[in-house]
């Protein structure tokens, strides 16, 4: 639905043009809003000036260029005066401190900036992920300092990174206001984006929806990963167990194991728990699941080290395929990538080995943050390698010829695949393939590295997409 010319809230200011803010800005321009974006990162502004985004999402660059060129999307480093603008949407980040507490400094700074330019009757919508109570107890007092009437709502972002533009126009949008007028006004704005807007009774209910959604997903992934490790111990394929158990059975779950990271799931269980504890509650299963997922790189590195010790061959080179925090939908985002702790643990187990990385979707300059050797193609990455570690299920990896790659690897080499993403694996003699939850079923101890073999590893089903 297009925004009519006379719609009172047609001019929007979005503060924070990261993964959440920029995709929202483009989606709003698509339906006819006039958007001004505020971003302090000069790299982001340089990219926008060149008509492109600073991260990968299919179709995003074309939309950015279109709306910048048409004048529907403007941007700068500060809030520009606009007598006709009536709406502010705050989308700045809320990272965790080293103590796993929410850092609200960016939100507080933006709230002060908005308060300075606030005019009577304007609407402020908070979209950043926060612990329960932040909108009312932190943001509202800063806005109240002007002592003028305004509207306030919390409208959480719940899109899947890499598909945000698509999901902004299809997923239900949650809206909770400080009063009924604020709720209705925010609902009317988002009603132009998506056919379903769900209003809840309070700011706190809206804050809780996002945290519960993501914490539930993290917990479900933790259970899938625990099933995988149990099945490895019992020499049973976790992929077979999960799929067989879910087939035409309505009470089973169908989530495959794999690393769980990214800018949301790595922090939202902590943010949820922080708010609960501040309200007098206790820590619970949410953090236990989070800790289990966080420990996966440590357990995986130890497993690989144990296997390599039994191979009677020195480990000189290990390469991680997939450095972004996920592979599907394809993304260049390195935030919260499990490759960071995986590298640390591999370096601890293999101090003399070269640790490298390859990811066809990430910026090589940004990949330098891993402080390892970065390869620009799969062949150079595989050459003389002892272990290839598939950390993501990037769809481009499906195009790789594992038979040819294994021939470039050293004798006794191992390909370990977190995602069990290759349906049929035919490796050169003396090389082996194994995956999370299929370690012993794919590679019985007597066959590891001893002969040419064909392993039938279940293909990735697409049911696990981490944001």
| Domain that residue 144 falls in | 11-201
Q: Show which of 201, 230, 259 is a domain's final residue.
A: 201
pLDDT of residue 426: 85
For tokens 């420990």, what's the residue? Answer: 295
pTM: 0.90
pLDDT of residue 241: 95
* Residue 385 counted as domain residue: yes
Cis preceding-peptide flag for 460 (omega within 30 of 0)? no
Where the chain has pLDDT below 50, the residues are 444-467
- Do 290 and 183 have their domain in common? no
- Do 267 and 325 have their domain in common? yes
- Do 289 and 269 have their domain in common? yes
- Do 253 and 177 have their domain in common? no
- Residue 195 phi/psi, 5-degree rounding, is -70, -15
- Do 424 and 354 have their domain in common? yes
pLDDT of residue 411: 94
Report the CATH number that the domain containing residue 261 is assigned in CATH.
Answer: 3.40.50.720
- Do 137 and 167 have their domain in common? yes
pLDDT of residue 312: 75
pLDDT of residue 441: 54
pLDDT of residue 447: 44
């Amino acid at each position: 639905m297009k925004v009519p010319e006379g719609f009172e809230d047609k001019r929007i200011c979005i503060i924070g043009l990261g993964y959440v803010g920029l995709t929202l800005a483009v989606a709003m321009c698509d339906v006819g809003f006039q958007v001004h974006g505020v971003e302090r990162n000069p790299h982001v502004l340089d990219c926008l000036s060149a008509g492109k985004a600073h991260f990968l999402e299919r179709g995003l660059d074309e939309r950015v260029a279109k709306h910048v060129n048409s004048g529907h999307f403007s941007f700068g480093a500060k809030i520009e005066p606009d007598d006709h603008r009536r709406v502010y949407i705050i989308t700045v980040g809320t990272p965790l401190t080293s103590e796993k507490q929410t850092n609200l400094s960016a939100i507080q700074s933006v709230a002060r900036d908005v308060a300075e330019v606030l005019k009577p009757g304007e609407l402020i919508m908070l979209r950043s992920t926060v612990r329960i109570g932040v909108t009312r107890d932190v943001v509202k007092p800063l806005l109240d300092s002007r002592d003028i009437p305004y509207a306030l709502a919390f409208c959480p972002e719940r899109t899947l990174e890499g598909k945000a533009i698509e999901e902004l126009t299809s997923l239900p949008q949650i809206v909770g206001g400080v009063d009924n007028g604020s709720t209705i006004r925010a609902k009317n704005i988002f009603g132009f984006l998506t056919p379903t807007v769900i209003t809840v009774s309070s700011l706190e209910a809206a804050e809780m929806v996002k945290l519960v959604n993501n914490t539930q997903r993290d917990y479900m992934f933790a259970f899938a990963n625990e099933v995988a490790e149990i099945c490895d111990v019992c020499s049973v394929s976790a992929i077979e167990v999960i799929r067989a158990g879910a087939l035409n059975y309505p009470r089973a779950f169908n989530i495959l194991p794999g690393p769980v990271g990214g800018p949301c799931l790595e922090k939202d269980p902590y943010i949820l728990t922080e708010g609960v504890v501040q309200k007098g509650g206790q820590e619970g299963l949410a953090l236990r699941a989070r800790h289990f997922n966080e420990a996966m790189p440590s357990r995986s590195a130890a497993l690989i080290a144990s296997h390599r010790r039994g191979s009677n061959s020195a480990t000189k080179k290990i390469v991680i395929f997939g450095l972004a925090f996920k592979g599907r939908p394809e993304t260049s985002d390195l935030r919260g990538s499990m490759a960071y702790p995986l590298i640390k643990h591999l370096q601890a187990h293999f101090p003399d080995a070269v640790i490298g990385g390859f990811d066809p979707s990430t910026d090589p300059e940004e990949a330098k943050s891993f402080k390892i050797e970065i390869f620009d193609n799969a062949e150079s990455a595989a050459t003389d390698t002892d272990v290839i570690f598939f950390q993501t299920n990037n769809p481009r990896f499906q195009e790789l010829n594992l038979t040819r790659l294994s021939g470039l690897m050293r004798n006794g080499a191992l390909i370990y695949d977190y995602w069990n993403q290759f349906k049929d694996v035919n490796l050169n003699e003396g090389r082996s393939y194994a995956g999370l939850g299929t370690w012993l079923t794919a590679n019985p101890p007597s066959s590891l590295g001893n002969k040419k073999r064909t392993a039938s590893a279940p293909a990735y089903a697409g049911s696990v997409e981490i944001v």
